[in-house]
Structure 1
Amino acid sequence: MLRAIIQICTATIIAFFFLTAASNAQATRTWVSGVGDDANPCSRTAPCKTFAGAISKTAISGEINIIDPGGFGAVTITKSISIVGEGGTAGILAAGTNGIIVNVAATDRVVLDGLDIEGAGSGLNGVRMIGAGTLLIRNSSIRNFRGGTGFGVDVQAATSTRVVIDNTLIFGNTGGINIKALAGNNVVILQRSTVESNNVFAGKVDGASSLILNGTTLTGNATSLSIVNGGAVISYGNNVIRGVGLPTQTVPLQ
């Protein structure tokens, strides 16, 4: 009798262990929907509601996709991951806060693709890179961050980092792109993008960092380029730069 009870208890514990492990498993691909629920497993048929809800259920180097248009909330990223908004408007409304904070290790890679990041006039920063690693922002819009520092993209990494911004609109912020070297050398590549109508500058490079421009338009900003403390701006010669501030180096197209 005692042996039977022990066997039943053991079987119950094992079953509970495997059920718990399954419920805590992270998927390589997860989904969010405007009518989702963060209590869901973030599967295609049971999507989550927010990026923050989905990221904890997404494996390292996995991908979060959207099913339909929606507002999916601000998020902090601490691992390699892709957030891809190809199913409609992938909105982040970040009034009074940061839209996306990226704080990852030097070996991590983060992709933000097809996002509509709105600060509503009081947002702090659209995308803030404070870790290391590599960040790609593409096919996105970052607008109206004018609270606090109010940068569209703020790169103040703890060590050397690389950020690529491709086919993106940065509009109506206090500052467009702010790059400040805290340690190491931060490199931001801005290509096929428009930085327009930001109150103070389109791009600022402070310290041992570089902004590389390729096929990009900087217009309607109080200052186009602010370069201090040894910063560098390299233009490939196919950019439109209107306003105060010139690149430190212009490289002819080959």
Structure 2
Amino acid sequence: MRRIALVALAVGFFLPILASAPANAQATRTWVSGVGDDANPCSRTAPCKTFAGAISKTAAAGEINCLDPGGFGAVTVTKSMTISCEAGTAGVLVSGTNGIIFSAGATDYLFLKGLDIEGLGTGINGISFINGGFLHVEDCVIRHFTSNGISITAGGTTGFTISRTTVFSNGNGATGTGINVAPPAGGTSKGVIERVIADRNTVGISGNATGGNVNVNIYDSAVTSNTLAGIVATGGAGAANVMVMRATASNNATGIQNNGGNAVLRVGESAIQGNGNGVAGTVASYGTNQLDGNNSNGTFTSTPLK
């Protein structure tokens, strides 16, 4: 009888611990669904409704996936994370705020794939990278934000890759950019932009070193119908090094523009046609470009060594 009592006591002691363990655990892979519920554990059989609901149940360096198309809402990411959705439209629809904010540790990363981020004409930034180590954006569409489609303003030394992505109709007509790389003083942002379409923004792609240093390679991309300029490099307190290869700049007010102030802008194997101004400022050519058919072609001012 005494043994039975001891067993019962032991079971009574451990049951609360066992019952609480799943509630506190974080999974390495979680799931969201258009018909999910954030009260769920975000498992494949009991998915959550939103990215914000899933992220607290996902371990650092874990992954959130989409089971089906849906609108999954804005989210702030504060740890290494992958959000990858290839099961149909994974929408992030916001008004008057940012779509996805990445604010994490100096060695953390954020990998985003397959997202449709819509700002409804009042959203601020589609993706805002303000702290962290590395941002990777792939197969995304980002549109209708008043400031930037993608804003990279993190301090320290950071990296980024933006691939197979469209930034469309971002900016308010006077300011704003499809992709804006603008680290603060003391910061350095290094990255690659490839197979990107920057269409109908205020500025298509900007490497802005008025604060920190910028080193950007842009290739196999198109900047079209942007209000002010397709590609812009601006130096300042930092240095801007922007390399453009195999790009198309057409139907912009200015195709490719160097705003000076310690900015170096090099262009090769690119077509610059149909713009108000083809090139403006100090733009170096590798001698393999087609600069023609603009209202004013402008002139490449130097030819770097091959």
Regarding TM over 0.5, the answer is yes
| Residue 200 (structure 1) shift | 4.1
| 1:249 equivalenced with 2:257 (yes/no) | no
Q: 1:234 is matched with which residue?
A: 243
Equivalent position to 1:217, from 217, 222, 238: 222
After superposition, the C-alpha distances for 1:155-210 in whole angstroms (9 at most, x for unaligned) are: 11021111100000001001111111223311131101100100245324224112
What letter is aligned with 2:71? G
> Does the 8 Å contact 1:201/1:226 carry over to 2?
no
Separation of aligned partners in 1, 2:120 and 2:62: 30
Distance 1:17 1:84 in 2: 34
AA matched with 2:180: N
- CA deviation vs aligned residue, 1:19-38 (integer Å, no higher than 9, x gap): 21122211111110001000
Q: From 189, 192, 195, give the equivalent of 1:189.
A: 192
Instruction: Judging by fraction of residues, say which structure has more strand.
Output: 2
Letter of the structure 2 residue corresponding to residue 188 of structure 1: G
Letter of the 2:150 partner, please give it. Answer: V
Q: Given the alignment of the two structures, is residue 66 of structure 1 paired with residue 66 of structure 2, yes or no?
A: yes
Per-residue CA distance 1:75-116 (angstroms, 9 max, x = gap): 011111111111110000011110000112232222100000
Q: What's the offset of the Cα at 1:11?
A: 3.2
Task: Give, in whole Å, the separation in 1 of the partners of 2:4 and 2:40.
Answer: 37
Q: 1:7: Cα distance to partner? A: 6.3
Cα distance per residue 1:55-76 (max 9 Å; x no partner): 1111121111111111000001
How far apart, in 1, do the equivalents of 2:148 and 2:170 lie?
6
Counterpart Cα distance in 2 of 1:2 and 1:79? 51
1: CA distance, partners of 2:266 / 2:12:
69
Q: 1:165 maps to which residue? A: 162
The match for 2:274 is: none
**Counterpart-to-counterpart distance in 1, 2:216 and 2:47:** 38
Percent identity, please. Answer: 42
Query: Given residue 267 of structure 2, which amino acid in structure 1 is its aligned partner?
Result: T
Secondary structure, counterpart of 1:123 in structure 2: strand
Q: Contact between 1:205 and 1:233, CA under 8 Å: does it hold in 2? A: no
Q: How many residues align?
A: 250
| Greater relative contact order structure (CA < 8 Å, 6+ sep) | 1
| More deviation, 55-64/239-248 | 239-248
Q: Does 1:14 align with 2:14?
A: yes
How big is the alpha-carbon RMSD for the aligned residues of Structure 1 and Structure 2?
A: 2.2
Q: d(CA) in 1 for partners of 2:9 and 2:187?
A: 57
Asked if structure 1 preserves the Cα contact closer than 8 Å seen for 2:31 and 2:48, the reply is yes
| Structure 1 residue runs without a partner (length 5+) | none
Quote the residue 1:179 is aligned against: 181
Alignment of 1:1-254 (within 5 A): 8-146=8-146, 150-174=147-171, 175-182=177-184, 183-206=186-209, 207-221=212-226, 222-224=228-230, 225-229=232-236, 230-235=239-244, 237-242=245-250, 243=252, 244=254, 245-246=257-258, 248-250=265-267
TM-score by length of 2: 0.76
Alignment partners' CA distance in 2, 1:92 and 1:8: 51
User: Which deviates more, 72-81 or 241-250?
Assistant: 241-250
- 3-state SS in 2 of match to 1:19: helix
